[in-house]
């Protein structure tokens, strides 16, 4: 029986290594065949779950050219206001950044877009309300106005910026408003 268990363990380890090797090599290729796309499609839920999925938007020859982040102005029923900050990888600890930073970046830069994904904005609004109930107990939210701050990243030949130096200027757009009782509206007024 012990020999059988040892063989099964060895087999599972080999399968584990082969599958992960396939994911690393196959997903690293920018152009894939139909068969490769189907195989990776079957493994995609697992890739997302363990954090292996990596889009090509970060890499050359055309990395994302916009540096952006999201925050919100929260108005309470008593008339006071507060600010809610969406988690930014550049401001996370090394451990938090390695565990969740890329997921937060992808969500804010690829999904939390103006006039798109209303379901996501509703869910984010509910999340913010739950988070504020913990950090500011007893205060009731009247409305949340989300803002997107963007900075166009110029190519190094045009403007060289040293690594780690944050952008100094951002364009700010009001992009979604959540009011209680629930009234949803997109607001695209530009604020500086």
pLDDT in tens, 23-78: 888 777 766 678 888 888 888 888 888 877 766 655 655 566 778 889 999 999 99
Q: Give 185's pLDDT tier (boundaries 50, 70, 90).
A: low
Average pLDDT score over residue span 142-167: 80
Residues 32 and 111 in one domain: no
What's the structural domain count of the chain? 2
Q: How far apart are CA 185 and CA 146, in angstroms?
A: 11
- For residues 36 and 93, state if they share a domain: no
* Beta-carbon contacts of residue 96 (< 8 Å; ≥ 6 apart): 87
Q: How confident is the model at residue 162 (pLDDT cuts 50, 70, 90)?
A: confident
Q: What is the pLDDT of residue 74?
A: 95
Whether pLDDT at 183 is above 60: no
Of 144 and 138, more confident: 144
Whether the ω angle into residue 94 lies within 30 degrees of 0, i.e. cis, is: no
- Residue 187 pLDDT: 54
Do 44 and 126 have their domain in common?
no
Q: In this structure, are residues 165 and 182 in contact, taking their beta carbons and an 8 Å threshold?
A: no
Q: How far is residue 177's CA from residue 172's CA, in Å, rounded to a whole number?
A: 15
pLDDT classification of 141: cutoffs 50, 70, 90 = very high
Domain carrying residue 138: 58-191
- How far is Cα 20 from Cα 118, in angstroms, rounded to an integer? 35
The answer to whether the beta carbons of residues 173 and 112 sit under 8 Å apart is: no
Tokens 């006039």, located at residue: 115
Domain check: are 68 and 45 in the same one? no
Which of 50-64, 126-140, 142-156 is the least confident region?
Answer: 50-64
Distance CA 168, CA 88 (A): 16
Kindly give, in sequence order, each residue whose CB lies less than 8 Å from that of residue 158, ignoring residues fewer than 6 positions away. none
pTM recorded for the entire structure: 0.64
Asked if residues 67 and 165 have their Cβ atoms less than 8 Å apart, the reply is no
């Amino acid at each position: 029986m012990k020999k059988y268990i040892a063989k099964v363990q060895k087999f599972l380890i080999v399968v584990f290594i082969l599958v992960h090797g396939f994911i690393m090599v196959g997903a690293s290729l920018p152009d894939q065949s139909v068969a490769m796309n189907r195989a990776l499609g079957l493994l995609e839920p697992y890739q997302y779950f363990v954090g292996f999925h990596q889009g090509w938007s970060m890499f050359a020859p055309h990395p994302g050219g916009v540096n952006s982040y999201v925050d919100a102005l929260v108005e309470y029923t008593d008339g006071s206001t507060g600010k809610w900050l969406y988690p930014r990888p550049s401001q996370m600890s090394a451990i938090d950044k390695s565990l969740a930073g890329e997921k937060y970046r992808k969500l804010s830069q690829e999904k939390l877009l103006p006039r798109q994904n209303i379901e996501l904005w509703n869910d984010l609004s509910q999340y913010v309300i739950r988070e504020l109930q913990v950090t500011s107990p007893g205060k009731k939210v009247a409305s949340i106005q989300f803002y997107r701050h963007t900075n166009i990243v110029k190519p190094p030949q045009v403007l060289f910026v040293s690594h780690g130096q944050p952008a100094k200027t951002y364009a700010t757009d009001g992009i979604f408003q959540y009011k209680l009782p629930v009234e949803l509206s997109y607001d695209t007024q530009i604020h500086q």
